[in-house]
Structure formats: structure tokens, C-alpha cells
Amino acid sequence: MVRILFFLVLGAVAWVAYKSWSGKPLSKKKDTPPLPGRNEEATILTCKHCGAFAPLTEGVMVEGRFYCSKEHAQASGERLGV
């Protein structure tokens, strides 16, 4: 009797797993959409002040000019709303 229950539970779990897996066959492609915002993280730019390489997300962009930090932006005469 316990065995039958075990296989019933196993079958139910397998069915649910199969349903959720086959329900979205293209989910793998949807997990990593080519969002334009995502690419910014991989963009490496050079600081206009010191020439250091830094990711776009870690630096400061002022009217198209990139700086590795706020300090360097200000040191180059950029006005930041601090």
C-alpha cells in the first residue's frame, strides 16, 4: 500500500514537473532578452580625466563624456547636481 502511494506521489510530481517544463518551451530564450539596458553593464569606457577604464554603470556620464567617478567629473569642471 505504501508503495502504491509512493508511485502515485512520484507520478504526480513528475506530471507537474513535466507540465511546468513543457508549458513554456521558449522560456530559456525569454530569460535572457537582449535588453538595451543590459548591454550598458558590459560597456567599458575610458575616463576623460584620468584615462582609466571603467564600466559605464560604475562611472558618471555627463552629456556624453564619461568619468570613472564623480570626483573626476568635478575635477574636469563638470557641474554635477550634488
Binding site for Zn ion (CB under 5 A): 47, 49-50, 52, 68, 72
Judged by CB, which is closer to Zn ion: 13, or 52?
52
DSSP letter for 10, please: H
Shortest distance in whole angstroms from residue 60 CB to Zn ion? 9
Shortest distance in whole angstroms from residue 59 CB to Zn ion? 8
| Cα–Cα dist 66/56, whole Å | 8
| Cα–Cα dist 10/1, whole Å | 14
Q: Name the closest residue to Zn ion (Cβ).
A: 47
